[in-house]
Structure 1
Amino acid sequence: MLLEEISRLDPDKIRTLFDTGGEYRRAISGGDYVEDFHTDLRRARESGPVHEGCVEEVLGLPRPEYAQRWTEPAFSAFDYATVNAVFRDDETFNSQILRGTFATFGPNILGMDGAEHARHRAVVQPSFGRAAMRWWTDRWIAGITDTLLRRVEGRGRAELNLDLCALLPLLTITGSFGVRMAESLRLREVIERMIGADVPREDKLAASAEAADMLLPLIAHRRENPRDDLISRLVRERVRDEDGTLRAVTDEEVLAFARLILTAGSGTTWRQLGITLWALLNNPDQLGAVRRDRSLVRAAIEESLRWEVTDPTFFRMATRDALLGGVRIPAGSRVALCLTAANHDPSRWDAPDAFDVFRPLRPHLSFAGGPHVCLGMHLARAEMTVALNAILDRLPDLRWDPDEPRPVLMGLQMRGPARLPVVFG
């Protein structure tokens, strides 16, 4: 049944929705940025941990479209110690700049800080903690991965970006909502319009309303007819208000969580899984080692996260005058935190520009840090772990397709490979 439903998904729409190399992504990510990415980040970091300007400007690029409306001063941090310190000091550097997401998502934890953030995050945290990963794997991840690989394993070749990487996280999230398979691509399309940098505000709001039209009836139905899924879990939760009152989570609060989870969960894991496969395919000796010793699967995933995180930059706002990396940061400034540069800091990792699955594991910053550490980090790891093990089990002698151009990593804000053409067997 699942195989039939997935087979009916529109391949042209999948290709459009998950086009890393498309013009939209280039426009908001500072160009393709294929070559010299790490070289330029290293130069920036070596010339000082903090610079005036957004990351693109520090690298010599024009101010990107997303930053052209800023009226506040902007600064960028590039070394591990500074970026880590900002994440952990949410009193001096908070997330208020992300309250703009309230218009389209509804009030959500991205733009909340302090006690407000803690109260609302506590509602959804139990469903995304490490202990919940068996539930996610057994109910969605394992079956979806199996079905997606069954579609390609007999062909001897695949385009894994679209055949697996793009669909696994999307179908996991929409499946956990109880969204019908036929509606999953439409919902992803709506979310893309909500967050598009080049989408007019009125069209974003229209897309937000369309998402509500799809999800609110489902939320109402789960209140009356609960199942073993994420929406049913969320409507049973309670949130503690500022005065200490414990109350039921409202439909609008569940809707805000759903929009946020769908946006984050169906975007970043797709590209990060692609980065992991891209790195292993370009290092066949390491791919072979991981195939032989599955204890290295975790190392491969963590190394890909450290080496080439798909979202290289996070943002915070200075709540008061501060001194950061020897640079004075006025209150109200935007601070861009370059995770990729921080994860390549040679004071923390030897030969940091190399991809090396044998590297001793050390905490990185790819899931941010502090109170706002990524809610879905355990789910992303679970999806990538199941997928990578299944690929190694079922696609023997995996290698680049010699008849297709070798893909590259591209992008500065949304980084990943546009395609993953492989042969096997």
Structure 2
Amino acid sequence: MKLDVNALGTFYRMAREGAGLAAGRLTHMTEVETQVGVTKLNFMRGREIRRDFEDATEKVAVRVKLTGAIEGYSMVVFERENALRVVETLLAESDSDTEIDVEAGEFDEMTESAVTEVGHIMNSGFIDGWADVLETVIDVSTPEFVEGVTAEPFFGEVDETPAEDDLALLFQSSIETVGTEVGFSHYLFPKRESMAALLERLRTSGGIEYDKLDGFDRMAERGAEEVAKTATTLTGIDTSVEIRRLNFVSLEAIPEQVADETLVGVAFEFDGMPSGYLLFLFDEESAHEIVDAMVPMEVDEDGFGEMGTSAIKELGNIMASGFLDGWANVLDTTIDHSTPEFIHDMGAAAVDPVIIQLGENQEFAFVFDTVVMADGREFDCEVYAIPDENDLERALNNLDVDRIEETPTTAEFQELENS
């Protein structure tokens, strides 16, 4: 199975179109204004998909089986409280005398039926949007109501869910109701053979073999392990870095996905095969935690004076080296990166300069969703690794996947002076 950016771009537009239709139908049903939230094409391993459902939060879902141009399963997932709020809104609009106890969180036959109807209409909105973009027909089974607090009820009967270490292409969208606390996520689990046929039909260039992209993800995982080792050595603090998933998103959508809060980070330009940009973004609280962990003395009150800035830049330098030197070793090439540029700005403004530069030559980007753990404290860190599309295709097509486990990924980096 081969992937090319044009085919993935069509899939991305398909997901956005479907999310737009689903949002419109939810608005029509509830008369509550809705908006499309995040839309992503995720390359995720089975263990990470299941982890999303193992957070002890009670969830309900409406699942349908797909046949035709896309085979697999489509599933709309609510947190239990949000599902009951949707039913509560629907009943209020219908002037029903029935009251819903959202806090109790119990479903009876009527509320289960109402949620199933909402989920089915949402699923149909997504699927109709895909069919419109693909100019084809996709058939939908009778909807099934599912609830639980673990992954098993949702995925136990879904053959298309990947095994623990298998990489799968997963569509994920969210819709939010404006001014309320109701929202939900959507997942598409396509059958591999069905997805391969669609990709082949949509492909316009040579493309990247799917196992090479799997290798790219494993390269990043090994690079992350090297980041952790080097950071531990430098700081003396037990540190680990974990890549949860590889997302394929529109460049225009990246600023929309960045949290609307003050962010701290570092940006790099890298040059070689491939070339591109690296961006590490932390929320401000996490950045303060990093400074406290790395600087063994009291620093400026805001934590981002000379010492704080240097600490963040130094950690960014280590992370960049861990990623890029590992890639270079496995690809048997040379990748150099610039000195880190410190970022301390609000939301989208933190990423706009990089997006503007990239937007001159490409429309989409691969983004790593990463969490950094240091000394038992969790740092939320978004890693935007955005290689040049043509460079990435050439580099991965030359990749010998057998080299990934055999090649050392030791990072080489120069420490920054506290100047």
TM-score (norm 1): 0.25
Q: Which has the higher contact order (CA 8 A, sep 6+)?
A: 1
Rg larger in structure: 2
Instruction: Please state which structure has a larger fraction of its residues in helix.
Output: 1
Instruction: Please state which structure has a larger fraction of its residues in strand.
Output: 2
TM-score (norm 2): 0.25
